[in-house]
Structure 1
């Protein structure tokens, strides 16, 4: 017997996919132009990795069962739950890539402020080292629990219906199966 929440589930899918689309848009707009000497530096490599992750998320096939519901509210309920789970995992992955890319962009800004258009030299060494260390610290702070927290707290602040969103543990399990 249906619980009457299929409209809420459908709305939740729309909200999650809207967040996903916004994150994908941001990640597709990342532009960095390192010199040949900078190309393999940690921050630039990170940005390329985040962009690749975003593209891979888009290329990942839909994992929930599909097919016509034929007007059966119970089958519709199960299908919507599957779509919520798949969409939540994709949004989680994009949020993680977004947070990491944002840290990379801060690293680029720091590096630019330190160098002020000059080539790196010995006088820049300590400040560049500090920027690299700061990036590593930021990346260590972007745990799966933190990514989950950022998404759930934003959703809760906006008063979104979260009753059937998968838990962090469930998201991790779905990611391991992919």
Structure 2
């Protein structure tokens, strides 16, 4: 049941990311917030494309079944964790997009906009810096705890970080 809960969360986060729409003009295309959004979408697509590493298929005893189930829970937890981190970064970038649109009100940027645009750029950078692994884990665990979900089998943050790093290492090698 826990695997289904974690994967449902992962699916929901992925659908939120997939629904992100931003249409920068040619002039805005390389602005920081739009760069962050494109990076988040690319990371989310790569995460979806990453296969589960099946090990030990075939007949197994009860201990092997338990170990296999732990690997499945770990894989699901890592995917959900990474998706949540991407989502938090994407929503910070969307706040930047909306703030920028409110400042410019359909006009091209000019010197009078510079202080306000710098302020929202600084806010975006501060928000992105605040999205730490610890914050992501706390947000996920808090939500799970308040929903009364069973968390005893969930991997710790250090395990998630290690497994997430291993997944990135495998992707870089391929």
TM value normalised by structure 2: 0.92
Find 2:44's aligned residue among 41, 46, 54. Answer: 54
Structure 1: any 5+ residue segments left out of the alignment?
1-10
Change (3 A) 1:66 1:96: farther
Q: Which whole-Å CA distance do the structure 2 matches of 1:131 and 1:75 have between them?
A: 52
Structure 2: any 5+ residue segments left out of the alignment?
168-174
Q: Which whole-Å CA distance do the structure 2 matches of 1:50 and 1:29 have between them?
A: 12
CA contact 1:65–1:82 (8 Å) conserved in 2: no
Determine the structure 1 residue equivalent to 2:170: none
Find 2:21's aligned residue among 20, 31, 42. Answer: 31
Change (3 A) 1:96 1:66: farther
Q: Establish whether residue 88 from structure 1 lines up as the match of residue 77 from structure 2.
A: yes
CA contact 1:95–1:147 (8 Å) conserved in 2: yes
Q: Which whole-Å CA distance do the structure 2 matches of 1:35 and 1:130 have between them?
A: 21
RMSD value, Cα: 1.2
The SS at the match of 1:54 is helix
| TM-fit CA distance, 1:66 | 5.0
The SS at the match of 1:38 is coil
TM value normalised by structure 1: 0.90
**Would you say how many aligned residue pairs link Structure 1 and Structure 2?**
167
